[in-house]
Structure 1
Amino acid sequence: MFNPSQHDVRRFFCEAFRKERTQEILTPLEAVARDWIVQHPEYAGQLDDVEQALAADYGVEGGQANPFLHLSMHLSIAEQVSIDQPPGIRAATQALAQRLGSEHDAHHQVMECLGEMIWHSQRNGTPPDGAAYLDCVRRRAGQ
C-alpha cells in the first residue's frame, strides 16, 4: 500500500503545479491533481514554493486552511468515484453534482461526509464506515 509522507504529498502537488505552469507532460495522477489545482487559484502561492510548502504549518490554531489536505481530499474523492468505491459513491456524487450544478461544489459536500466518517472512525477507534459515508452523500444529494 502506498503511504506517502506529508512532504511527499506537498512535493507532489507543487510539482504538478509547476508542470502545469510550464506546460510539461503530466503523469495521469498529476493530471487529475492539476484539474483540481486549477479550480483553486487561491492556493497558487502555497504551491509555487516547494521549500515554503514543506515548512508550512497548518495547525488548527493558525486558522488557515491546509491546501494540501484539501487537494488530497479532492484527489481521494475523484479516485473513489472513478472506481465506485464504496459501491454507490459514483452515482451519489453524480446526483449531488447534478443537484448543485457543479462537480466542484459536490466534491466539497462529499468532503464534509468523508471528514465526518474519518473523525468518527478515529474518535471511536473503529474502521471507517463506508455505509455511513455513502448515506451522508446520498442525503446531501436528496436521494
Structure 2
Amino acid sequence: MDFMTAQNRARFFEIWKKAKENLPMEGEEALFAEIMLEHREHHSLFDQGEAAMNIDFAGRRQTNPFLHTSLHVVVEQQLQARQPIEVEQALLSLISRGESRHDAVHQIGGLLAQVLYDAVTRNKAIDEADYLLKLRELVY
C-alpha cells in the first residue's frame, strides 16, 4: 500500500473513532462521519481500524468503503456548493421520480466514479463535460 492510501485510511479510522465516541467534529470531518454512520454495511470494517488498513479491494466484488464514502462526500460537497448545478438538478429529478435522497446520491456518485475511472485509466484530466452530460441524462 502506498503512503497516501495509508494516510487516507488512517484518517478514516480516526474519524470513525471520534464518531463512535461522539466527539465534536466540524466541516469535512463531520461530513465524513455522518456518511460513515449512515452506511451500516461498512461499520464492521471501520471497527477493525488498523487491522483493516491493508485490505486490497481491487478485483473484489465487495464495495470499497473508503472510495464509496469519499464519493458520497464529494457529491454532498458539490450539492452544498451548488457546483456544478447539474448535480442538484439530477438529485431533485431523481427524488421527484421516487428515489430516496440517499439512493439518488449513490446514482450521482456512480457517474462521478465512472468519470474518475476514465480519467485514471486514460491518464488524463477529468472530463468535466462528460460528467455534466451524464448528469443531464439523469434529469431527462
Coarse TM-score class (shorter-chain normalised) = 0.7 to 0.9
Paired residue secondary structure (2:97): helix
Q: TM-score, normalised by structure 1?
A: 0.82
Deviates more, 1:44-53 or 1:77-86: 77-86
Name the counterpart of 1:49: 48
Preserved CA contact (<8 Å) 1:86 1:130: no
Structure 2: which 5+ residue stretches go unaligned? none
Give the drift of 1:87: 4.3
Distance in 1 separating the partners of 2:24 and 2:83: 29
- Show CA shifts across 1:12-63 (max 9, x none): 2222221121111113212111221122101111111221221211121x33
* Matched residue, 2:80: 82
Aligned partners of 1:24, 1:128: CA distance in 2, in Å?
36
Look up the SS of the partner of 1:38 in the other structure. helix
- Greater shift, 33-42 or 124-133, is seen at 124-133
For the structure 1 residues 87 and 130, does the alpha-carbon distance in structure 2 shift closer, same or farther, using more than 3 Å as the test?
A: farther
What percent identity do the matched residue pairs reach?
Answer: 28
Contact kept, 8 Å, 2:75 with 2:87, in 1: the verdict is no
Alignment of 1:98-109 (within 5 A): 98-109=96-107
Q: CA offset at residue 95 of structure 1?
A: 2.8
Q: Secondary structure at the residue paired with 1:116?
A: helix
Between the two proteins, the alignment pairs up a number of residues equal to 138
Tell me the secondary structure at the aligned position of residue 85 of structure 1: coil
Unpaired stretches in structure 1, ≥5 consecutive residues: none
Q: Which moved more, 1:130-139 or 1:117-126?
A: 117-126
Match of 2:130 in 1: 132
Residue 8 of structure 2 aligns with an amino acid whose one-letter code is V
The list of structure 1 runs, each at least 4 consecutive aligned residues, that deviate by more than 6 angstroms after superposition, is none
Q: Distance in 1 between matches of 2:11 and 2:92?
A: 27
* RMSD across aligned positions (CA): 2.1
Structure 1 contact 14–47 (Cα < 8 Å) conserved: yes
Contact 2:111 2:135 in 1 (8 A): yes
